[in-house]
Structure 1
């Protein structure tokens, strides 16, 4: 797997909501090798405060030259990242990890909750570019319509035709959790491959439904991560059978077959 360290110039910084930003940087080596589901490790300051890099999913690549990252301001590192402007540079390492398997699948459902939507946009673009599944459904969930912001429209703009939303407060689409949309929009007459990313309870609910229906399910896991290359062993998760060595999200994932993982 090709991995690169680049000094990436910031091209654009977009504030989608008061907490959620979309960052575009020039990183041609990473952009030309990235696959949907992979991530980068971002140093958010030129000094060592904060010390650790931040793992961010690749939201999309543009013309084999630019990498786009979608992130939420949750702490010191991401606050510093949100304050950066075009012309500043960031140190990025990537692309890291393993991505989604989506080629030659007869029916695909992308289901994302909150910031778990970030890698699914890249996946949706690649699905439309390299394959034409007879059925492709996008299910997006958030706390509010404002939190989802322009993301449902972004999926529509690239050519996804069946997009459904769910919000905790009912301000957009289904009033409830996004996992509740699966039985509403996925018929049992298709051999579905479900690609999910989001909070653990959401994905646990999705995996349970896929297991009942006999559908394939891939999950992109989000954990605390210090290095991104399996050196620190900080992103360990238990295997499904709870035996043998732990899996590591940065190296073995972040995308897993759902049946590999213990859903505790």
Structure 2
């Protein structure tokens, strides 16, 4: 089996794990909605798993294909599959990845409080349903793996490639401006993707829309920069660290 196929399978298996790991968290959040299901819960969960396999399978395949064209990738996994020593590189990115992830989590919490003071009727730090920390820990794998595959490897890479086709450097590489555009657009798309969920709990006002997009885009910009400069593994570690702050540490502090 070639390196590309192995890389595809590793990422797909990781996404399947992330999809399963987040289930306790989502089942807790959707507890009331699950009481009157038209089909048994196991049928719904099986359908969601199949849907996730197809979705992430396509995202990984397309993302890996275009990542090569714009100089993006997964240096640790790719190096390991090629038989190179990657331990030193992993050590070199751990500090900045975890540090920026913690920073992202703190920034999101701080901005959320600012929006609550401005009169926004929702606040992630004061949710009506708070899943326990162990569920938040498992859910963090979904953020770190699945969301990074979807938003960075697929969406950001595809946008970067489209911009690259329009403008590139004299050396035939993506421009810094093009990469920043891809990072920001992917982050905003991620934020906008949360609006339907917000609609279910409150009325969408201009301030609510701005809050939703900004809170989610903050992390997206940080993770996108890490993907560009350090590789997708760095973005995954950082996103996981941010989610640990938001879904594990914050609930534990709230209990005290």
Please, what TM-score do these two structures have when normalized by structure 2? 0.26
Give the number of the structure whose residues are more often strand, by fraction.
1
Please, what TM-score do these two structures have when normalized by structure 1? 0.25
Q: Which has the higher contact order (CA 8 A, sep 6+)?
A: 2
Give the number of the structure whose residues are more often helix, by fraction.
2
